[in-house]
Chain A
Amino acid sequence: MLDYLAGRFGQLLLVLFGVSVVVFVTMHRLPGDVATLLLGDRATVASLARLRHQLGLDQPVIVQYWRFLAGALSGDFGTSLRDNRPAFGEVLGAFPVTLELTLSALLLAIAIGVPLGVVAALKEGTWIDTAITTPTLFGVSMPVFWLGLMALLLFSEKLGWLPVGGIMPIGIHMARPTGLSIVDAALSGRAALVWQAVLHLILPAATLATIPLALITRITRGEMLASMHLEYVRTARAKGLPEGRVIRAHILRNALIPVWTVIGLQLGLLLSGAVLTETIFSLPGLGRLMVDAILARDYPVVQAGAVFVATVFVLVNLGVDLCYAVLDPRIRRR
């Protein structure tokens, strides 16, 4: 297991180094001159040259990369070109909103998807199976940005059940020590605020959960069906175990190992979907921050956001792999 861990950690460092190179290279060839961007078109040649020198843009590329890497390792990506605040601070400030959204969506997708997949497999070939699997086909083809708009139209505008967007009703101010709206509302000790935070999260989380929910249902069903016909299951039945125990201890337990990997892989999908979901529901998360930064050519924020999200993504994937190795001993012996 130690060898496996060391190997995975080595890969992680190599990938993170690659991530830093990709982000540096892409941002290095941003259209337009950064000094002109900062000082405006009317800046004199001398002041532009001075700023380029200050920013190190007149240095060889390899020196610039080294400075970027050293800064990145200490969380210093420079200051935002829009409001002069530390770029990494802006990213950290927006991240809890995205974290809350993606975790809620993932929990929703697992809580509904796994039981649906199990039921569909146990009722294979019946109308129940069809009633579960057909919508999953639609689910994986759904553009989340359209679904979000339609959900807003129906549940907020027509039915008036849920709020239109944001994380709290306009005019309500609340201290945000953690940045997670439900946790902050709970810390404020006001039940009404917790309820509001939950109401504001329902539509975005449900929208974002659509595709992972469909995928988790399909994978759970498929893995259950594959496990149901294996010999050890037949043996378990032959020795007279009750059907409930065969399903829980023999089929489901083994079927869920590959499902766990798929759940881990959903994170990339969720972080991508969060960019669009945050835009539709006016959530001040990391995705929205990055899109705004790109449109405003605020490259320090884009760099900070890209390195941060890729690092989180790689670390979560490592965590999923390690859990997988714990769940399935064959992996760590390879």
Chain B
Amino acid sequence: MSESAVLGGPARLGGALARPAARIGLGIVLLFLFLCAAAPLIAPHDPYEQELMSALQPPSLTHPLGTDQYGRDVASRVLYGARYALLAIVVGDGLALALGTAMGLVGGYLGGAADAVIMRLTDVLLAFPYLLLALIIVAALGPSLLHSMIAIGIVYTPQYARLVRGQVLSVRQSDFVRAARALGASSGRIVLRHVAPNSLSPVIIMATLQAGSVVVETAGLSFLGLGAQPPSPDWGALLADGQNYFLTAWWIATFPGLAIFIAVLGFNLLGDALRREFDPRAR
């Protein structure tokens, strides 16, 4: 299955990116990825290096975004924080995508009892406000960055499961799936070779839209002390650090928050444009 078949053709991808908002979104996402890769090269200081003599310094030429209470360079910590945000997307969004897609494929294709069990499970998970569910999962696993990402992954799983199930239900009635079945293809082969690739484009769009939410929520858990632990330069943890000093040293909390906002905006703009192009109901 080629990419063009999955996404409906490069022309439509081009159509999605013709919108200025989409181009801004793509630009922000590419910049975000570049900063993740180049953080060690462009960070002016070691993000963990403490310099107590220069604690709580406002932005200057030496420290473009100022220093925190331990004299660590805020700019370097924000730059390295992008890597934590990317990790959250890969682990959290990736886990939700993998689990949800598997559940949706199985439930949608097999139907019957398997489908009923999977759908009731998603109902139960959706019965919790998302952050509350993440909180109790973190409570069960113990506060840490990895556990917060797993929690966010589980929280978003039902949405992927429902989306994929809906796609599968429509694809499995199509002629090419019936033909494959008539030719004697096994259920596993039909799901993996025919149903899954043809259900992918809405999943990719959802993954883009969810990426922003995953960044905000993992940062939120770190902000509450339930995610990344000190001295990790996670954006949420940086904000929590800055909260204690925001009346005297505004820069510690301001820049990590701005980074979260811009990154989330990028993913939302891009995801929104893709959704508008590929989902006719969203236009």
Residues on A facing B (Cβ under 8 Å): 11, 14-16, 18-19, 21-23, 26-27, 29-31, 137-138, 140-143, 145-147, 149-150, 152-153, 157, 267-269, 271-273, 275-276, 279-280, 290-291, 294-295, 297, 299, 302, 306, 309-310, 313-314
Q: Does B225 contact A (CB under 8 A)?
A: yes
Known contacts A142-B261, A302-B135; can you find 8 more A-B pairs with CB under 8 A? A14-B123, A27-B140, A143-B261, A146-B258, A149-B239, A150-B257, A153-B246, A294-B136
Q: How far is the CA of A331 from the CA of B219 in the complex (A)?
A: 39
Q: How far is the CA of A269 from the CA of B265 in the complex (A)?
A: 18
Q: Do A15 and B127 form a contact, CB below 8 Å, given A143-B260, A145-B223, A275-B135?
A: yes
Task: Give the dominant DSSP class at A's interface.
Answer: helix
Q: How far is the CA of A306 from the CA of B224 in the complex (A)?
A: 17
Q: Does B81 contact A (CB under 8 A)?
A: no
Q: Does B254 contact A (CB under 8 A)?
A: yes
29 A-B contacts, Cβ less than 8 Å apart?
A11-B123, A15-B123, A18-B121, A18-B123, A19-B124, A19-B127, A22-B136, A26-B139, A30-B140, A31-B141, A31-B142, A138-B261, A143-B219, A145-B223, A146-B253, A146-B260, A149-B257, A150-B257, A157-B247, A272-B131, A272-B132, A276-B220, A290-B132, A294-B139, A295-B143, A302-B135, A306-B135, A309-B132, A310-B129
Inter-subunit contact B243/A149 (CB<8 Å): yes
Q: Which residues of A contact B131 (CB under 8 A)?
A: 271-273, 275-276
Output the least CB separation between B88 and chain A (Å).
Answer: 13
| Chain B residue at minimal CB-CB distance from A303 | B136
Residues on B facing A (Cβ under 8 Å): 21, 120-121, 123-125, 127-132, 135-143, 212, 216, 219-220, 223-226, 236, 239, 242-243, 246-247, 250, 253-254, 256-258, 260-261, 264-265, 268-269, 272
Inter-subunit contact B132/A306 (CB<8 Å): yes
Output the least CB separation between B47 and chain A (Å).
Answer: 20
Q: Which residues of A contact B121 (CB under 8 A)?
A: 18
Which residue in B124, B135, B236, B243 is a CB contact (below 8 Å) of A280?
B243
Q: Do A150 and B254 form a contact, CB below 8 Å, given A309-B128, A310-B132?
A: yes
| Chain B residue at minimal CB-CB distance from A313 | B129
Inter-subunit contact A271/B129 (CB<8 Å): yes
Q: Which residues of A contact B139 (CB under 8 A)?
A: 26-27, 30, 294, 297, 299, 302
Inter-subunit contact A310/B127 (CB<8 Å): yes
Q: How far is the CA of A104 from the CA of B251 in the complex (A)?
A: 30
Inter-subunit contact B127/A294 (CB<8 Å): no
Which residue in A14, A29, A150, A271 is a CB contact (below 8 Å) of B140?
A29
Which residue in B123, B138, B223, B265 is a CB contact (below 8 Å) of A138?
B265
Which residue in B127, B135, B256 is a CB contact (below 8 Å) of A290?
B135
Q: Which residues of B contact A31 (CB under 8 A)?
A: 140-142
Q: How far is the CA of A146 from the CA of B132 in the complex (A)?
A: 19
| Chain A residue at minimal CB-CB distance from B137 | A26
Inter-subunit contact A146/B129 (CB<8 Å): no
Return the 5 tightest CB-CB contacts between A and B, nearest first. Answer: A146-B257, A18-B124, A272-B131, A26-B140, A271-B129
Inter-subunit contact A294/B138 (CB<8 Å): yes
Q: Which residues of B contact A137 (CB under 8 A)?
A: 21, 265, 268-269, 272
Output the least CB separation between A127 and chain B (Å).
Answer: 16
Inter-subunit contact B128/A306 (CB<8 Å): yes
Inter-subunit contact A23/B136 (CB<8 Å): yes
Q: How far is the CA of A325 from the CA of B191 in the complex (A)?
A: 37
Inter-subunit contact A291/B212 (CB<8 Å): no
Q: Which residues of B contact A299 (CB under 8 A)?
A: 139
| Chain B residue at minimal CB-CB distance from A276 | B220
Inter-subunit contact B125/A22 (CB<8 Å): yes
Q: Which of A147, A273, A294, A309 has the most CB of B within 10 A?
A: A294
Q: How far is the CA of A14 from the CA of B220 in the complex (A)?
A: 31
| Chain B residue at minimal CB-CB distance from A268 | B129
Inter-subunit contact B243/A18 (CB<8 Å): no
Q: How far is the CA of A19 from the CA of B253 in the complex (A)?
A: 36
Q: Which residues of B contact A302 (CB under 8 A)?
A: 135-136, 139
Q: How far is the CA of A140 from the CA of B265 in the complex (A)?
A: 8
Q: Which of A11, A16, A279 has the most CB of B within 10 A?
A: A279
| Chain B residue at minimal CB-CB distance from A295 | B225
| Chain B residue at minimal CB-CB distance from A314 | B127
Q: How far is the CA of A32 from the CA of B154 in the complex (A)?
A: 22
Q: Which of B135, B143, B219, B261 has the most CB of A within 10 A?
A: B135
Q: Which residues of A contact B236 (CB under 8 A)?
A: 145
Q: How far is the CA of A290 from the CA of B69 in the complex (A)?
A: 28
Output the least CB separation between B188 and chain A (Å).
Answer: 29
Q: Do A275 and B127 form a contact, CB below 8 Å, given A146-B257, A306-B132?
A: no
Q: How far is the CA of A269 from the CA of B140 in the complex (A)?
A: 22
Q: Which residues of B contact A146 (CB under 8 A)?
A: 239, 253, 256-258, 260-261
Output the least CB separation between A109 and chain B (Å).
Answer: 16
Q: Which residues of B contact A14 (CB under 8 A)?
A: 120, 123
Q: Which residues of B contact A11 (CB under 8 A)?
A: 123
Inter-subunit contact A268/B130 (CB<8 Å): yes
Q: How far is the CA of A192 from the CA of B223 in the complex (A)?
A: 35
